[in-house]
Amino acid sequence: MRTSDKAVTLQERSNYENNSNYDYFISFHRNAFKPEQATRVETFIYLNPGQKAETMAEKIQRSLIGVGFVNRGVKRKNFHVLRETVAPAILVEMGFLDNSKDNQLFDSKKRQIIEALDAAILQQLGIKYTQQEQKPTVNTLYRVMAGSYANRENAEKQIQRLKAAGFEAVVMIGEK
């Protein structure tokens, strides 16, 4: 649903799901508490979730534990996105942003986390997961160009926008 770093209200999230016909609503998050004081992965379902949500939550939780996260369990909560969605709903907290060990695990095993989640979700849907072979990209770089400008000031403004969005950016000078 989110394709940018724009805040989406809880009501907008549940409305988005309720305006379509989805099999599941899964909301992925990173948790936070106090620096270095909390760790682990936890998955939430509604107070009376139904079998589909409960089974999916257990599979997702096990998949993340298999990658290396410590288990905080599947928990029942009265969260808006769990309560106000039509489809079976799951909210996943993949470690704590303010915990260096969780961040290291998240950063170093991003691919494995994605594959584990894929496998768990597809298993729940009755679809066989097939892991795709990754080709090494040790010496390969893919460059993305974000515009060409006749005016250097406009190029610098674009650089600042890209950097503010978290992208590395540099002005490269060329001829027309």
Of 43, 46, 54, 53, nearest to 79 (Cα)?
46
* Structure tokens, 75: 């928990």
Q: pTM of this prediction? A: 0.70
pLDDT of residue 174: 67
> Given CA atoms 110, 38, 34, 31 in this order, what sign does their dihedral have?
positive
CB 65 within 8 A of CB 31: no
- pLDDT, tens digit, for every residue of 137-149? 566 666 666 777 7
- pLDDT, tens digit, for every residue of 87-124? 999 999 999 999 999 999 999 999 999 999 999 999 99
**Domain architecture of the chain: domains with CATH:** 10-124 (3.40.630.40), 143-176 (no CATH)
* pLDDT mean over 58-71: 95
Strand duo 41-45 + 89-96: pairing: antiparallel
pLDDT of residue 142: 65
As a whole number of angstroms, the distance between CA 147 and CA 7 comes to 27
* Structure tokens, 14: 């549940």
- pLDDT, tens digit, for every residue of 43-55? 999 999 899 999 9
**Residue 175: enclosing H or E segment and its boundaries?**
none
pLDDT of residue 57: 96
Each as own residue / partner, the long-range contacts of residues 140-148 (CB below 8 Å, 24 or more positions apart, any chain) are none
Annotate 83-123 with DSSP letters as a single string.
HS-SS-EEEEEEEETT-HHHHHHHHHTHHHHHHHHHHHHHH
As a whole number of angstroms, the distance between CA 134 and CA 111 comes to 10
